[in-house]
Amino acid sequence: MPAATSRSPDTSSGPDMRRLIDRLPNDDHTNGWSALLPGRLPRPSLVGEQEFDWVVIGAGYAGLAAARRLAALRSGESIAVVESGVVGENASGRNSGFAIDLPHTPSNAAASVEQGRRAIRVGRFALAELERLIQDHRIACDWERRGRYHAAVTGEIASKVLDIYAANLRAWGEAFEPLTRDELENRLGTRYYHSAIYTPGTCLMNPAALVRGLADSLPPEVELFENSPVIEVEFDGPSPFVRTTAGRIRFGKLILAVNAFAPSFGVFRDRQIPVLLFASLTQPLTSEQHARLGADESWGITPAHGVAGSTLRLTADKRLLIRQGFDYSPSLTTNEARRDAARVKHTELLARRFAHLGGTLDIEHFWMGWLAVSHNHAPAFGQISDNVYAAACCNGSGIVRHTAAGMLIAELANGQRSELTDDFLVQGTASYIPPRPIRDIGVHLTLMRERASGRHEI
Ligand SMILES: Cc1cc2nc3c(=O)[nH]c(=O)nc-3n(C[C@H](O)[C@H](O)[C@H](O)COP(=O)(O)OP(=O)(O)OC[C@H]3O[C@@H](n4cnc5c(N)ncnc54)[C@H](O)[C@@H]3O)c2cc1C
């Protein structure tokens, strides 16, 4: 096994020695996925002075995968996972529940075809690991391999995006089915889409149930502390520590897996763009409404236009999910007016697609969640300083990609760099973005352009 190599190119924006964390996650208690689940008793919070060989901050897919991998690699060593809130209320538990096996490659240039092949290897590896854990630990999360419809509302976006996607799939040797409006109506029960490409490998689930199950089945070497926001860190020096309001851990090495919150720790400050997304779940459809849908028992649609488009699902328990709205959110906050507008839009967009079901399509749960994207779609991943490693920012598809990132960052912190890490890093690492306010102007202009080009795709 070759030794781990150099540091992340992000050393220009690396952490300070000691740092107060200025921005903490704030749970708005609206996550629809966890509202559907039975209650769960969170693990105790961190109290008093403690020592661990390893600390992982963040209990999403990345942090949990990192902790589990460390336990396998560093037998006999102690590992703490410190989580600000409660497992399942983060992006990992709030997403649309697509574990996607294939990358979206924006071009069919030879280099990106090869890059895509290698990304598929990483994605399939992480997906297989998730499936193994779900089976071994009997995680009840409605996991089903249903595949995915990547759909365009207009012919224009179909020929711009889906045609390239089909060419990529052909080059990768992946199975797919192009589908027309009529075929989609037969399967999904709506004529809204011009066309789609169906690929069979995506799995759908309740993501809050999945991430809870992953946390509750961690090996005994791993101690999870919930409701324990880290408010101060000292990354390096003779006695590095993380501090919460009621406790402190002195550690040997640390893995930061805090997604959009990495810049609060002084990490990837100039690499990540925080984005706010909104989602809704309807009440379960009546049997009459369900009978008017298509032949597929449950399904998932991802939008060909990533920024303007809508993600939809018919869930295993016969609810409709919609995820639409893509806001630049540098403060990682929002307001009631924006939430209300997003919710109203969801109702309208469901009606456009499913008015023929009759009755009402009442939204039972509405929520929002943050993720971080990078300018070049590459991950923010690597060694940050002597004792500190970080994995963040995989531009959506985080169920699979952050599971992979968590496992691979643990290996890197253990001095290992495998072929899979090379496959992961062939995507590059998150590129530099200029500081605010230049960044704000650039992102707003890009989003305006994207929304205009996708205005008929919502
Ligand atoms: C609405 C929405 C829909 C999405 N849909 C999909 C989808 O269908 N498929 C897909 O693959 N991806 C999807 N994504 C993206 C995916 O959810 C994320 O990429 C993934 O969950 C990120 O995992 P993570 O572990 O890196 O981060 P997170 O799940 O955000 O976990 C980071 C953790 O760090 C903790 N933390 C932060 N600061 C501190 C602190 N100071 N102290 C202690 N803990 C801290 C947070 O509380 C959080 O629990 C979606 C995202 C959203 C928001």
SS (H, E, C) 283-297: CCCCHHHHHCCCCCC
For ligand 1, atom 10, the nearest C-alpha belongs to: 397
pLDDT of residue 15: 59
Bridge partners of 351?
A: none
pTM: predicted TM-score of the whole model, two decimal places: 0.96
Decide: 407 in ligand 1 pocket, CB within 6 A.
Answer: no
Q: Domain for residue 240, yes or no?
A: yes
Decide: 302 in ligand 1 pocket, CB within 6 A.
Answer: no
Run of H or E residues at 255 = strand 247-256
Q: Which amino acid is at 263?
A: P
Q: Domain for residue 187, yes or no?
A: no
The alpha-helical segments, DSSP class H, found in 200-320 are 207-216, 287-291
Instruction: Give 250-297 pLDDT, tens digit per residue.
Output: 999 999 999 999 999 999 999 999 999 999 999 999 999 999 999 999
pLDDT of residue 167: 93
Task: Report how far residue 159's alpha carbon sits from residue 162's, in angstroms, rounded to the nearest whole number.
Answer: 6
Structural domains of the chain, count: 1
Supply 286's token pair.
């009546």
Run of H or E residues at 106 = none
Å from CA of 369 to ligand 1 middle: 8
Q: Which atom of ligand 1 is nearest to the CA of 260?
A: 30
Q: Domain for residue 188, yes or no?
A: no
Task: Report how far residue 350's alpha carbon sits from residue 345's, in angstroms, rounded to the nearest whole number.
Answer: 9
Supply 55's token pair.
């600390």
Task: Report how far residue 443's alpha carbon sits from residue 358's, in angstroms, rounded to the nearest whole number.
Answer: 40
Supply 436's token pair.
């605010």
Decide: 123 in ligand 1 pocket, CB within 6 A.
Answer: no
* Residue of 96, 144, 249 to test ligand 1 pocket, by largest number of atoms within 8 Å of CB: 96
Nearest alpha-carbon partner for 259 in 245, 248, 273: 273
How do strand 241-243 and strand 203-204 relate by DSSP bridges?
A: unpaired
**Averaged pLDDT in 10-residue chunks for the chain of 458 residues:** 42 65 94 98 98 98 98 98 98 98 75 88 97 98 98 97 94 97 98 98 98 98 98 94 98 97 94 96 96 96 96 98 96 94 97 91 96 90 95 86 97 96 91 94 94 94
Task: Report how far residue 226's alpha carbon sits from residue 45's, in angstroms, rounded to the nearest whole number.
Answer: 5
pLDDT of residue 1: 34
Nearest alpha-carbon partner for 323 in 369, 372, 259, 262: 369
Decide: 56 in ligand 1 pocket, CB within 6 A.
Answer: no
Q: Which amino acid is at 70?
A: L
Q: What range does the domain containing 409 cover?
A: 9-94+208-270+376-435
Decide: 97 in ligand 1 pocket, CB within 6 A.
Answer: yes
Q: Domain for residue 43, yes or no?
A: yes
Task: Please state the φ and ψ torsions of residue 267, each to the nearest 5 degrees.
Answer: -115, 135
pLDDT of residue 247: 98
Q: Domain for residue 122, yes or no?
A: no
Q: Domain for residue 394, yes or no?
A: yes
Neighbours of 194 (CB within 10 A): 21
Task: Report how far residue 440's alpha carbon sits from residue 374's, in angstroms, rounded to the nearest whole number.
Answer: 14
Decide: 361 in ligand 1 pocket, CB within 6 A.
Answer: no
SS3 of residue 371 by DSSP = strand
Supply 166's token pair.
């089909």
* Residue of 258, 323, 370, 373 to test ligand 1 pocket, by largest number of atoms within 8 Å of CB: 258
Decide: 300 in ligand 1 pocket, CB within 6 A.
Answer: no
Decide: 67 in ligand 1 pocket, CB within 6 A.
Answer: no
Q: Domain for residue 238, yes or no?
A: yes
Task: Report how far residue 280's alpha carbon sits from residue 296's, in angstroms, rounded to the nearest whole number.
Answer: 21
pLDDT of residue 108: 65
pLDDT of residue 9: 43
pLDDT of residue 243: 98
Run of H or E residues at 252 = strand 247-256
Decide: 46 in ligand 1 pocket, CB within 6 A.
Answer: no
For ligand 1, atom 11, the nearest C-alpha belongs to: 397
pLDDT of residue 17: 74
By residue count, the chain amounts to 458
Decide: 62 in ligand 1 pocket, CB within 6 A.
Answer: yes
Q: Domain for residue 169, yes or no?
A: no
CATH number, position 232 = 3.50.50.60
429 and 384 Cβ atoms separated by less than 8 Å = no
